[in-house]
């Protein structure tokens, strides 16, 4: 099949007979015994502080070891701008990259509860032992149970010349290479020049996953929203046509491809681990490996999307994020002892809190609302399902509160969201969003909605075509008394699409119109059996519903509810109404509303 054909098959119009996706030939056991460890993969120093915090801080405070991997050198033009506009316009790539590393050490020391200039243990690992390089600096610091590891891969953000090479170009096109950026003061041999390729970066990322063996992986958004850029919506730092930085997207794509490779090698019992030049870099790193499925979970975070929607963090959390970014930004007058500088000065002082883009004021999950796990059945005989590793794990309750070992249902590489419909007999139908293909180098990069039913996975396709299928959200499904099953997704236009199963089979995907909404759909049936869907728009909560049971789901007039700060929840009330709850923007308060139907 050609690349174009593969893309169409993985993301295209619905078919009369939904296709069956490839699934593991043999179900394998999940690996057990790995201690909790979180890895997060960032494009630049500060992405974690802007877009993943406060989750990063909470992980450290919980005592779970945290490994943060920074893919690019963050060198930009090499100018370390001060927020008051005073700078010398000295273009020093090595110094600016080093200064940003130091800013991270200051911020993480603060999160660990230590003075910001606390010395770190700095060493070097070989990312590709068979070839001897590139190397990576690995910095570690602990305070009691709290342990942080920072890994710097130093891929150049851009190259000048005929290709004007960049990380997105290295993802998309064969033959593109990028320099390894040597940061000033990097320990040897991380101070040696080297070159990155598409495959060497995927191999290195997969090797780091094999080395640290995370139980939770955090990534940036591989599939950002389509964004119109005009006078009302200035482009700022977005990539053309989308609401995020180009390096965020490319880093996330490389990471998800590496996750797939690592999971495959672990299941086959082969090792892709990096080689340590010094000692082990994390508790439990480099332990023995056996052929088993790695039992990890994933979480995906939005980036510059934050500036396009109402802010979702209360003032106290924003102030906390700002305090940590203050440490990261540092100051040219600080005496930190780092030769390249004492932080990313343009992010210092009060700049993150005064920046009109407001990135610091939200933390958005890419797939909110629908959790990655579900439990069906009655106590003592329940069944749980969870997106785990590269598929779904099923556990059966052997007696109240006691669960059996997880069984691999396959499913492929899935987004961390799972919608479950209980069915007669105790099992459930499962609906998920699958990373069907994620190849790069001009190969297919597609997503589709998949269904687990009667022991097999089936593709339900996508309401979108081509690259637009990557912008579709995770499915939410519900069953009605007439036997129909309704599946809803947020589509590439930020509206609502649906597909319905009735006695004749699955109907086509349909666009239900309505205004633009965020991810995080709330779907339910009311006391009369009518379907309702609620979602958060920019100014109010949007509502779709059936007028009569069994009728079409259509966009309803505006609810008139106050502006939402994040996605809603909705439940039927005993008197036949619907209770809708959601956070207010930039507030710890919630709206509790009652909608008569």
Taking only the tens place, the pLDDT of each residue in 156-187 is 998 755 457 899 999 999 999 999 999 999 99
Which are the contacts of 492, defined by CB distance < 8 A and separation ≥ 6? 226, 464, 468, 469, 471, 472
Beta bridge partners of 497: 489, 511
Mapping DSSP to helix (H, G, I), strand (E, B) and coil, where does residue 121 land?
strand
Helix residue ranges, H only, 191-345: 198-212, 246-268, 315-329
By residue count, the chain amounts to: 597
Residue 50 is given by DSSP the state I
Distance from C-alpha of 334 to C-alpha of 346, rounded to nearest angstrom: 14
Rounded percentage of the chain residues whose pLDDT exceeds 90: 81
Comparing C-alpha atoms, which of 314, 217, 212 is closest to residue 260?
217
Residue 470 is given by DSSP the state G
Distance from C-alpha of 119 to C-alpha of 339, rounded to nearest angstrom: 14
CB count, 10 Å around CB of 367?
Answer: 23
- The domains found in the chain, sorted by start residue, are 1-23+369-520 (no CATH), 32-361 (3.40.50), 524-597 (no CATH)
Which are the contacts of 245, defined by CB distance < 8 A and separation ≥ 6? 43, 44, 237, 238, 239, 303, 304
Mean pLDDT, 10 residues at a time, over the chain (597 residues)? 32 44 57 90 98 98 98 95 73 96 98 98 90 90 98 90 80 94 96 95 96 97 97 93 97 98 87 51 43 92 97 98 98 96 94 95 96 90 94 93 93 96 88 97 95 96 97 98 97 98 97 95 97 97 97 94 98 96 98 95
Q: Residue 310 in contact with residue 584, Cβ under 8 Å?
A: no
Per-residue pLDDT, 3:
32
Per-residue pLDDT, 13:
42
Per-residue pLDDT, 453:
96
Per-residue pLDDT, 64:
97
Q: How does pLDDT run across 88-100, given as a tens digit for each residue?
A: 668 999 999 999 9
Per-residue pLDDT, 34:
84
Distance from C-alpha of 326 to C-alpha of 334, rounded to nearest angstrom: 12
Tokens of 271: 């090792």
Mapping DSSP to helix (H, G, I), strand (E, B) and coil, where does residue 501 land?
strand
Indicate the helix (H) or strand (E) that contains 92.
Answer: none
Beta bridge partners of 419: 431
Tokens of 225: 């929203």
pTM, entire model: 0.93
Comparing C-alpha atoms, which of 207, 206, 52, 68 is closest to residue 138?
68
Per-residue pLDDT, 492:
98
Beta bridge partners of 456: 453
Read off φ and ψ for residue 461, nearest 5 degrees. 70, -145
């Amino acid at each position: 099949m050609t690349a174009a054909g593969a893309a169409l098959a993985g993301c295209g119009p619905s078919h009369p007979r939904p296709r069956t996706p490839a699934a593991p030939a043999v179900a394998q056991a999940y690996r057990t015994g790995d201690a909790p460890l979180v890895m997060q993969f960032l494009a630049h120093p500060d992405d974690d502080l802007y877009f993943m915090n406060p989750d990063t801080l909470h992980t450290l405070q919980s005592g779970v070891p945290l490994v943060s991997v920074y893919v690019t050198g963050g060198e930009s033009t090499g100018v370390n701008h001060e927020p008051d506009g005073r700078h010398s316009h000295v273009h020093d790539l090595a110094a600016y990259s080093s200064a940003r590393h130091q800013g991270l050490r200051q911020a993480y020391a603060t999160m660990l509860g230590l003075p910001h200039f606390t010395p770190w243990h700095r060493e070097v690992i070989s990312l590709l032992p068979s070839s001897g390089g590139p190397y990576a600096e690995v910095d570690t610091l602990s305070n009691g149970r709290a342990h942080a590891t920072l890994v710097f891969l130093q891929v150049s953000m851009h190259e000048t010349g005929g290709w004007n090479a960049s990380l997105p170009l290295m993802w998309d096109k064969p033959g593109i290479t990028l320099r390894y950026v040597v940061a000033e003061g990097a320990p040897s041999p991380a101070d040696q020049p080297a070159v990155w390729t598409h495959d060497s970066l995927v191999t290195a990322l997969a090797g780091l996953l094999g080395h640290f063996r995370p139980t939770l992986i955090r990534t940036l958004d591989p599939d950002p929203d389509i964004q119109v850029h005009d006078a009302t919506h200035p482009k700022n730092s977005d990539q053309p046509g989308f609401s995020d930085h180009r390096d965020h997207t490319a880093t996330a794509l490389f990471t998800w491809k590496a996750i797939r490779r690592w999971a495959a090698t672990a299941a086959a019992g082969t090792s892709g681990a990096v080689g340590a030049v010094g000692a082990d870099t994390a508790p439990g790193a480099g332990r023995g490996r056996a052929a088993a499925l790695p039992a990890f979970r994933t979480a995906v975070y939005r980036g510059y999307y934050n500036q396009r929607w109402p802010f979702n963090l209360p003032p106290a959390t924003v102030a906390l994020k700002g305090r940590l970014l203050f440490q990261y930004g540092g100051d040219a007058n600080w005496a930190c002892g780092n030769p390249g500088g004492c932080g990313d000065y343009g992010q210092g002082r009060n700049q993150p809190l005064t920046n009109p883009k407001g990135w610091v004021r939200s933390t958005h999950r890419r797939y909110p609302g629908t959790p990655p796990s579900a439990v069906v059945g009655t106590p003592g005989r329940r069944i749980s399902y969870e997106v785990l590793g590269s598929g779904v794990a099923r556990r059966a309750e052997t007696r109240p509160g006691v669960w059996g070992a997880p069984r691999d249902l396959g499913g492929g590489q899935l987004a961390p969201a799972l919608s479950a419909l209980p069915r007669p007999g105790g099992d459930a139908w499962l609906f998920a969003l699958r990373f069907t293909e994620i190849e790069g180098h001009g190969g297919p990069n597609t997503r589709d909605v998949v269904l687990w039913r009667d022991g097999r996975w089936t593709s339900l396709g996508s309401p979108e075509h081509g690259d637009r299928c990557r912008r579709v959200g995770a499915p939410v499904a519900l069953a009605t008394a007439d036997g129909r099953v309704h599946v809803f997704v947020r589509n590439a236009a930020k509206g609502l699409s649906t597909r319905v199963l009735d006695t004749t089979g699955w109907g086509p995907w349909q666009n239900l119109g309505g205004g633009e909404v965020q991810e995080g759909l709330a779907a339910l049936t009311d006391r009369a059996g009518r379907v309702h869907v609620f979602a958060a728009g920019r100014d109010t909560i949007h509502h779709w519903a059936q007028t009569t049971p069994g009728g079409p789901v259509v966009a309803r007039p505006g609810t008139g509810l106050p502006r939402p700060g994040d996605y809603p929840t909705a439940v039927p009330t005993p008197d036949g109404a619907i209770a809708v709850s959601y956070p207010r923007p930039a507030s710890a308060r919630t709206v509790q509303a009652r909608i008569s139907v």
